[in-house]
Chain A
Amino acid sequence: MLDTTALESFPSLISHGINVAGEISAPPSFQLPNSNDFDGFVKETIQMVKPAKGTTTLAFIFKEGVMVAADSRASMGGYISSHSVKKIIEINPYMLGTMAGGAADCQFWHRNLGIKCRLHELANKRRISVTGASKLLANILYSYRGMGLSVGTMIAGWDETGPGLYYVDSEGGRLKGNRFSVGSGSPYAYGVLDSGYKYDMSVEEASELARRAIYHATFRDGASGGVASVYYVGPTGWKKLSGDDVGELHYHYNPVTPSTVEQEMVEAAGP
């Protein structure tokens, strides 16, 4: 059944015996349109509303922990609605989630997941595992399957069993793995990531690989761009390693050296 924990926003207002307002004390539920053709309606609204999506995110496990990287562009159709979106979401100090697909869907459900993880800690006096957290999210998304949510996320963290990485999507899929890339730029990121990956990398080598993979994806994919952020998750939690504008990274990886003809022209022009 649908997960409605996100909707219980008025517990303090419901006084037993006093009906503050019919709507507030009714069982929580998402409002649905009165339509015979729900799928068609949802398709039309999504086209009209054009929620922000299009992205490149990646994460991989290596000897020292988990490396997570993402771009920062949000596109609405062909319009770039933001170049500074935080696509790596800090669920808690030792777990990260990535955002791909609908920005609102990812932001909302990751925040909800953070709340659930905190409640788990309070109820069980221990941190939740990455396995558990990803399962919580996957179950929520499965309950909304077919209703038009668009979420392609990776849950990366460090728990008692060491580094953990799961891919979770809005179809209800949940996969455990060592290397994932999600989003419209993922084919390009996979190309760089797969060819450069070694399990025995140092943190510097791994972060450089992640940065390069995001850069190459932003270069070829129109829906990716902005700032390439790289995070590292180790035994003491996550740490942001770098945030570089991909325009500047381009000239860092492809320095401009004047050709001999241009050099002569510069010299001929004189001081």
Chain B
Amino acid sequence: MTKQHANWSPYDNNGGSCVAIAGSDYCVIAADTRMSTGYNILTRDYSKISHLAEKCVMASSGFQADVKALQKVLSARHLTYQHQHNKQMSCPAMAQLLSNTLYYKRFFPYYSFNVLGGLDSEGKGCVFTYDAVGSYERVGYSSQGSGSTLIMPFLDNQLKSPSPLLLPAQDAVTPLSETEAVDLVKTVFASATERDIYTGDKVEIVILNASGIHRDFMDLRKD
């Protein structure tokens, strides 16, 4: 009696790309708004970005049902934290929480590729990048999703900073200003849209800085 294989999969890939860039006193998080399945577009207007805490924003691509479940779990845990500690969760704390939340489903993973962006306790920009089961790392910039293999080399070329592992340590702050970083993000999405079928329609750009949170949209090719 041969083993029966399942005739359906609980997962699907809704495509899309996410990017985050950390600066000296700001953080830019962006994601396109196209949601697809196979060759079909389900909607051109879906937000992949979630505002988890006052200074912490997450963008996720992959299977949006898992992304939605993950966002709900994280915001529930954040609410509990606020009740218990009477303050907002810091971005590094949320980063660790997201890692643990992803790992708790190690044997039935959230099919979600995340980037977390925000301001650390000193007000400096921080970006954390994840794989689907929770391994994470603080970096200066990152991209995830269907367009990430197109976007990442371009960001490396424009932004590559010395590795934090080097000794003697070298300063790794992105030299770009906030407006330059936003322009870079727009350029990057326009390019990714040209060559990735799952990226396009609009890009939602969120900017976090000392004065708060600001949201912007830019149209992309709809084909």
Residue numbers of A with Cβ under 8 A of B are: 7, 9, 12-13, 30-33, 35-37, 40-42, 44-45, 48-52, 72, 74, 76, 79, 81-86, 102-108, 147-149, 226-227, 229, 240-245
Query: In this complex, what residue of B is CB-closest to A148?
Result: B107
B: number of interface residues (CB 8 Å)? 35
Least CB distance, A150 to chain B, in whole angstroms: 11
Query: In this complex, what residue of A is CB-closest to B113?
Result: A49
Contact B107 A104 (CB under 8 A): no
Chain A residues with CB under 8 Å of B80's CB are 13
Known contacts A13-B80, A30-B107, A148-B107; is-contact A103 B131 (Cβ 8 Å): yes
Classify the secondary structure of B's interface with A.
Answer: loop
Which of A13, A48, A84, A149 has a CB less than 8 Å from the CB of B11? Answer: A48
Mask, B118-130, CB within 8 Å of A = 1, is 0000000000010
Known contacts A37-B3, A48-B11; is-contact A108 B134 (Cβ 8 Å): yes
Classify the secondary structure of A's interface with B.
Answer: mixed
Least CB distance, B172 to chain A, in whole angstroms: 9
Contact A245 B134 (CB under 8 A): no
Known contacts A79-B149, A83-B163; is-contact A107 B135 (Cβ 8 Å): yes
Chain A residues with CB under 8 Å of B100's CB are 9, 108
CA distance A241 to B134 in the complex (A): 29
Contact B3 A85 (CB under 8 A): no
CA distance A35 to B10 in the complex (A): 11
CA distance A76 to B11 in the complex (A): 19
Residues 109 to 146 of chain B near chain A (Cβ within 8 Å): 109, 111, 129, 131-137, 139
Contact A104 B165 (CB under 8 A): no
Contact B4 A104 (CB under 8 A): no
Identify 26 residue pairs between A and B in the complex whose beta-carbon atoms are under 8 Å apart, listed by A's number: A13-B80, A30-B104, A31-B107, A31-B108, A32-B108, A36-B4, A42-B107, A44-B9, A45-B108, A45-B109, A49-B132, A51-B135, A72-B165, A82-B129, A82-B137, A84-B137, A103-B131, A104-B102, A104-B134, A107-B99, A108-B134, A226-B165, A241-B167, A243-B167, A244-B166, A244-B167
